[in-house]
Chains A and B, each alone.
Chain A
Amino acid sequence: EAQVTQNPRYLITVTGKKLTVTCSQNMNHEYMSWYRQDPGLGLRQIYYSMNVEVTDKGDVPEGYKVSRKEKRNFPLILESPSPNQTSLYFCASTRGGGGRRGYTFGSGTRLTVV
């Protein structure tokens, strides 16, 4: 089954403790992206990757890092999480094509930073 898999689904952590949210897709998609979803603000792009070893900032990249060493994986790293990073995070992928193709989203990771 074609899918984007995120782990973990739920995570509660403390301020400053480094964490990684994993994302893997099995569709051989070139383009992958991370979004956060907050009430009243909608989905906002954090980082994206157009292919292996090619990553760039989205609209809200502060406090996040990403890497793309393999085509299928695109982990999101929070080096020193803070409470304002409490949010619902989604990884998404697409084959590319200037945004005309639909995104496939993961099921989300609900992160709480205390």
Chain B
Amino acid sequence: TQLLEQSPQFLSIQEGENLTVYCNSSSVFSSLQWYRQEPGEGPVLLVTVVTGGEVKKLKRLTFQFGDARKDSSLHITAAQPGDTGLYLCAGPTGANSKLTFGKGITLSVRP
């Protein structure tokens, strides 16, 4: 079973701070995805990383896929209260478009 471990589980920071969170596995993934979920809503796709070493930027969010395609990181620069939410990483497992999700990182950004 391909598992995705996310860390830290919870993070509470002040507005303006930078942060990095992680998604790790002992298995190789063909790609990894990051989602953000706000309370009372479904997850929303932020990015898909496909190539080992790939870096993608989405405004203040920077996503990196590990060279060996076993891990990924999300760096947020100058966090804002609007970044608050649950951040999920997910990877395809099996041949049927199934996504396996990590348990998520709960981020709280205080004004």
Chain B nearest CB from A58 CB (Å) reads 7
Residue from B35, B90, B96, B101 having most chain A Cβ neighbours under 10 A: B96
Report yes or no: A42 in contact with B48, Cβ–Cβ below 8 A: no
Closest to A56 in B: B96
Report yes or no: B103 in contact with A99, Cβ–Cβ below 8 A: no
Report yes or no: A99 in contact with B92, Cβ–Cβ below 8 A: yes
The interface residues of chain B, by DSSP majority, are classed as loop
In the bound complex, residues from chain B placing their C-beta under 8 Å from that of A42 are 88, 101-104
In the bound complex, residues from chain B placing their C-beta under 8 Å from that of A33 are 97-99
Decide if A8 is an interface residue (CB 8 Å cutoff): no
In the bound complex, residues from chain A placing their C-beta under 8 Å from that of B91 are 99
Report yes or no: A99 in contact with B101, Cβ–Cβ below 8 A: no
User: Interface range on chain A: under 10, 10 to 19, 20 to 34, or 35 or more?
Assistant: 20 to 34
Decide if B40 is an interface residue (CB 8 Å cutoff): yes
Report yes or no: A99 in contact with B31, Cβ–Cβ below 8 A: yes
Residue from B45, B92, B97, B104 having most chain A Cβ neighbours under 10 A: B97
Q: Do A98 and B42 form a contact, CB below 8 Å, given A41-B103, A42-B102, A42-B103? A: no
Closest to A40 in B: B103
Residue from B30, B50, B88, B101 having most chain A Cβ neighbours under 10 A: B101
Contact bitstring B30-68, A, C-beta under 8 A = 1, else 0: 110101000011111100101000000000000000000
In the bound complex, residues from chain B placing their C-beta under 8 Å from that of A92 are 42
Decide if B93 is an interface residue (CB 8 Å cutoff): yes
Contact bitstring A74-114, B, C-beta under 8 A = 1, else 0: 00000000000000001010101111111111111000000
In the bound complex, residues from chain A placing their C-beta under 8 Å from that of B103 are 40-42
Looking at the complex, which one of B30, B42, B48, B92 makes contact with A105 (CB distance below 8 Å)? B42
In the bound complex, residues from chain A placing their C-beta under 8 Å from that of B90 are 103
Looking at the complex, which one of B31, B35, B43, B102 makes contact with A100 (CB distance below 8 Å)? B31
Closest to A50 in B: B96
B residues bordering A, Cβ < 8 Å?
30-31, 33, 35, 40-45, 48, 50, 88, 90-104
Residue contacts A-B, CB under 8 angstroms, 27 given = A35-B101, A41-B103, A42-B102, A42-B104, A43-B43, A43-B88, A43-B101, A45-B98, A45-B99, A56-B96, A90-B43, A98-B97, A99-B31, A99-B91, A99-B94, A99-B99, A100-B48, A100-B50, A101-B48, A101-B97, A103-B99, A105-B42, A105-B43, A107-B40, A107-B42, A108-B40, A108-B41
